Structure 1
Amino acid sequence: MIQGFKEFIFRGNVIDLAVAVVIGAAFTAIVTVVVESLINPLVSLFFAADSLATALTFTVPTLFGGTATFSFGAILAAVLSFLSVAVVVYFVFVLPMNKARERSEAKKGVVADETALPTETELLIEIRDLLRAQQGQAPRA
């Protein structure tokens, strides 16, 4: 039992996951600062983002004499926050990394030609035909 646990811990996946969590936490801090320092002030130029969470609320009476408050503004604020984080991550990190990777591959002479690769169906047909040939059967069309 302990041997299995050692193999699990030292397999590499756990170490990779731990590194990913640490890097993810550091990455979250960077994205949060960019959103709070750049994106939120840009959004506040167009409308009062601080009051959005409390602006679109509806209060309705409940069956037991109380009230229920629906805060659609908070949902909209969360969606805007998510979209702003996604925009920052894509344009500041993903897009430049993809461009750098493309330039690096172009320098190495690696050209990604996906049209030359066979489809999954073609590969399965080829495997089937090879298996039949091994068994001495004639391949079907």
Structure 2
Amino acid sequence: MTDKNKPGVLAGFKEFITRGNVIDLAVAVVIGAAFTNIVNSVVNGVINPLVGAFGTKDLVGYSSCLKGPCVVNDKGETISGIHILWGSVLSAVLTFLITAAVVYFLMVVPMSRYLARQASKRKHDEVVEMAAEVEEITLLRDIRDALVSPRSGGGN
């Protein structure tokens, strides 16, 4: 009971891959990965040195000891105490905020403006088209009335 009109697994996979939204997603992932490197460079090259002017070399160096004396070995592993690495959390938050701001101001805002202009243009084109249709209908009615009026006038 196989249906010959039903596409095969490979045909379905090909259709899935060639859809526009899947390709757009793949492009977005590649651009996002490259963009992450840019943001990390900004954080490591600009933000961390600015923070370093007021304290340690970068944000990752900021930490606190919650309980007892914190002893950290050469590998950065905590041997005793509860070591809170709030500097690395702050660095990650800053990286996220910078990424979100750049994406918003360089991608979302311009795209929103572009889409709004396109929608406004489409709406204007629709209004012009509707006005042309109304004018055409009026003209056709006038022609119909002009053709009908000699018949109705002569038949009485």
Using the size of structure 2 for normalisation, the TM-score is 0.51
Find the counterpart in structure 2 of residue 84 from structure 1.
98
CA shift in 2, pair 1:98/1:66, >3 Å: same
In 2, the alpha carbon distance for the partners of 1:35 and 1:99 equals 28
Gaps of 5+ in 1: 111-141
In 2, the alpha carbon distance for the partners of 1:47 and 1:59 equals 23
Gaps of 5+ in 2: 1-6, 70-78, 125-156
RMSD of aligned residue pairs (Cα, Å): 3.5
SS of residue in 2 equivalent to 1:90: helix
- In the alignment, residue 52 of structure 1 is paired with which amino acid? L
In 1, the alpha carbon distance for the partners of 2:27 and 2:62 equals 37
Once the two structures are superposed, the pairs formed by residues 45-84 of structure 1 within 5 Å of their partners are: 47-48=51-52, 50-58=57-65, 60-61=67-68, 66-84=80-98
Compute the displacement of 1:57 (Å): 3.3
Is it true that 1:11 corresponds to 2:25 in the alignment? no
**Contact 1:31-1:88 at 8 Å conserved across structures:** no
Compute the displacement of 1:38 (Å): 8.4
In 2, the alpha carbon distance for the partners of 1:25 and 1:19 equals 10
**Contact 1:35-1:85 at 8 Å conserved across structures:** no
Q: In terms of Rg, which structure is larger?
A: 2
Find the counterpart in structure 2 of residue 109 from structure 1.
123
Find the counterpart in structure 2 of residue 98 from structure 1.
112
Find the counterpart in structure 1 of residue 141 from structure 2.
none
Compute the displacement of 1:29 (Å): 0.9
Compute the displacement of 1:73 (Å): 1.0
Identity %: 21
